[in-house]
Amino acid sequence: MDNRDEVRDFLITRRERLTPEQAGVPFFGGKRRVKGLRREEVAMLAGISTDYYTRLERGNLAGVSHSVLEALFRALQLDEAERTHLFNLADTANAIGRAVTGRPPRRPTSRTIVRQGVQRILDTINAPAYARNGCLDVLAMNRLGHALYADAVGTGATFNLARHLFLDLRSQDFYREWETVAADCVAALRTQAGRTPYDRGLTDLIGELSTRSAHFRTWWATHNVRLHHTATKTMHHAIAGDLELTGEALQLPGDPDLTIVTYTFEPTGPTAQALAFLSTWCTPEASGRTTGSGRGTAHPGSRLPQDPGVDTP
């Protein structure tokens, strides 16, 4: 088991995106043979030798001190998500090194169930809300969450957000800014892969999406990472119509591998009215009606989703 390729590709892509002007490196014109900064320029900015940086960019982060990692963080002008990813990659390299001496790294398992208390929290939220693990498996939802993601859930109890985005063409109608949402999803999975590289469920999911989706493969190769705390999404629901919702990610101290995502919205705007309509639609009395069926009276301005499909290259 080795993460050298992951380290090498991450450092190279971060170096290549940074121009001498952005880094404050003297540049006197002429044609440069490399994209972005040269290795020696990164080494100079980080205060280390070129030979040492070249070793790091070849993928060897085992034993690298926190001070050197912080120097790379500053030299490459990483954001907080990228800094976290760099440190996660170094932790993995050290774990691999310990495995060679007889202490194999722990292989975590993605959470697949939630406590009853978490479901009770969701049920008290008067807005669409769900709980997910790091693989983006939605493991529990409240009533409005079920109504919002009715097409994604289908007849099952849970669903995976990444599979829905990349393997169900209806998601491209549901998310008005699909490419932004999908690219952020890939960045979230890349971040999780750096945090839990031995998670079999995660590696299987990444392998499946890489095989079946050209979009996913393209964005995965960028090595972009992101910490998802809040984001505003514009959605088009088949029953409720257009919605503008801001997701807030809430961590649970007792369940560190679980995240509650709840959507907020302007209390007097059109989204609030649409959700009020959706709330009446998904009451027990209306349980026989589903968003995917297209039966019943839709919210004004709504349109039915496309047939499901798979993005295959």
pLDDT in tens, 133-168: 999 999 999 999 999 999 898 766 689 999 999 999
Give the pLDDT of residue 32.
Answer: 79
Asked whether the predicted pLDDT for residue 64 surpasses 70, the reply is yes
Q: Count other C-beta atoms under 10 Å from residue 287's C-beta.
A: 9
The lowest-confidence range among 2-6, 178-182, 246-250, 309-313 is 309-313
Quick one: average pLDDT of 197-216? 95
Quick one: pLDDT at residue 254? 85
Considering all CA atoms of the chain, what is the largest pairwise distance in Å, rounded to the nearest integer?
A: 73
Mean pLDDT value of segment 191-208: 92
Average pLDDT of the residues in 193-212: 93
pLDDT digits over 245-299, tens only?
Answer: 999 999 988 888 899 999 999 999 999 999 999 998 876 544 444 434 333 334 4
Query: For the sheet containing 230-237, what is the strand order?
Result: 159-160, 137-141, 129-133, 255-264, 241-252, 230-237
- Please tell me the pTM assigned to this model: 0.84
The whole-number pLDDT of residue 299 equals: 41
What is the per-residue pLDDT for 27? 72
Q: Is 83's pLDDT higher than 60?
A: yes
> 243-260: per-residue pLDDT in tens?
999 999 999 888 888 999
> Percentage of the chain with pLDDT > 70?
84
Residue 202 has pLDDT above 90, yes or no: yes
Q: Which residue has the higher pLDDT, 305 or 278?
A: 278
> What pLDDT digit, counting tens, does each position of 219-246 carry?
999 999 998 889 999 999 999 999 999 9
Q: What is the pLDDT of residues 88-128, one digit of tens each?
A: 999 999 988 776 555 555 556 666 788 999 999 999 999 99
Q: What is the pLDDT of residue 2?
A: 79
Catalogue all structural domains in the chain, each as residue range(s) with its CATH number.
4-100 (1.10.260), 116-286 (3.30.450.180)
Please write the tens of the pLDDT for every residue from 20-41.
999 998 876 667 778 899 999 9
pLDDT reported for residue 155: 61
What is the sign of the dihedral through the CA atoms of 111, 112, 118 and 122?
positive
pLDDT at 305 (0 to 100): 34
pLDDT at 154: 77
